Amino acid sequence: MTDTEHLALIHAEIDGELDARQRGELARRLLADPDARSMRDQLQRLCALLDATEEVEPPSQLRSRILDALPPAPRVLRRTRWSASRWQYAALAAGVLVAAVVGYETFNAPGPASTELVGTIGATRGRTTLDTVRLPSGPVAGRVSLYRDAAGHGLRFELAASAPVEVLVASDGHTLRAEALGSGAAPGAASTSIALPGFGGSRTVDLTFLMSGRAVGRATLTVPDRH
C-alpha cells in the first residue's frame, strides 16, 4: 500500500469506518513505521480537539428577529411563482440603471396576467398621492408614496441604497414583491412605480425592505379616511 492509502486508513479509523481486514493492515503499518504512528496520534488529538469544541448559545433575540422578518402571509408561498415584468430605465442624474421586477400573488384567486402588473413609470398625470413615508438615512433612504390614478392604486419608490433592495408589499391578503430597487444614487434621482392590482379593501399597506435577504427596514402607508 502507498503512503496515501495508509493515510486514508488513518482517517477512516478516526471516523470508525475500518473493517477487520483494514484494521489489520493499518496495525501492521503502524508497528513498522514510527512516522505513521506519530501522524496517527497527532490526527487523533486534532480530531479530539475539534470534537470537543462546544456549541455557542445563539443570542436570545435571534428567534424574534427571524420571526419578525417573515412576510406576513405564509400561505402565499404555496402559489406558483408570480408572473413578472421587468423595467429598465436610466436614472436622470446619475445615469444609474434601475431594473425592477414585480410579482404578485394572492391565495384566494389566480394570479393576474403579467400585463396587469405593468409599472407606471413616469405616468403621473391625474395621480393623487394618498400617503408618503420618508425613510431616514440608513441602509435604505428616500421615500415611498401610495397613490391613486385612473388605472388604480400604486406605489412610487424613490430610493437610494448601497445594494439592490427588495420590497415586500403586503395588504389585505395580497403579497407583492419589487426587486432590484435602489441604485446607490441620491434619493429622488431615480424612481419606480408599481401598480397594486386588487388593492382597495384595506386601509394600510405594509412594506418590508430587504437587502441580501435581510430585513433592513419597515414602513406602513395608510389611506386617509376621505378616500
Partner 1 sequence: MTEPDDATLVRSCLEGDQSAFAQLVVRYQRPVYNAALRVLHEPADAMDIAQSTFLKAYEHLATYDPSFKFYSWIYRIAINESLDTLNSRKSLSEIDHERADEAPGPDRQVEGQQARRALEDALMRLTPELRTVIVLRHFMHLSYEDMGDILLLPVKTVKSRLYSARQVLRDRLAACGAV
CA distance 14 to 33: 18
User: Smallest gap, in angstroms, from Cβ of residue 118 to partner 1?
Assistant: 24
Pick between residue 38 and residue 129 the one whose CB is nearest to partner 1.
Answer: 38
Which parts of this chain interact with partner 1 (CB under 8 A)?
A: 7-8, 11, 39, 42-43, 45-47, 49-51, 53, 55-59, 62-63, 65-67, 69-71, 74-75, 77-79, 210, 212-215
66-71: long-range contacts at Cβ-Cβ below 8 A with a sequence spacing of 24 or more? 68/215, 69/208, 69/214, 69/215, 71/168, 71/170, 71/175, 71/208
Pick between residue 153 and residue 177 the one whose CB is nearest to partner 1.
Answer: 177
Q: Is 221 helix (H, G, I), strand (E, B) or coil?
A: strand
User: Smallest gap, in angstroms, from Cβ of residue 186 to partner 1?
Assistant: 24
Pick between residue 32 and residue 49 the one whose CB is nearest to partner 1.
Answer: 49
Rounded to whole angstroms, what are the CA distances from 37 to 19, 31, 42, 46, 216? 19, 8, 9, 14, 54
Pick between residue 64 and residue 137 the one whose CB is nearest to partner 1.
Answer: 64
User: Smallest gap, in angstroms, from Cβ of residue 154 to partner 1?
Assistant: 24
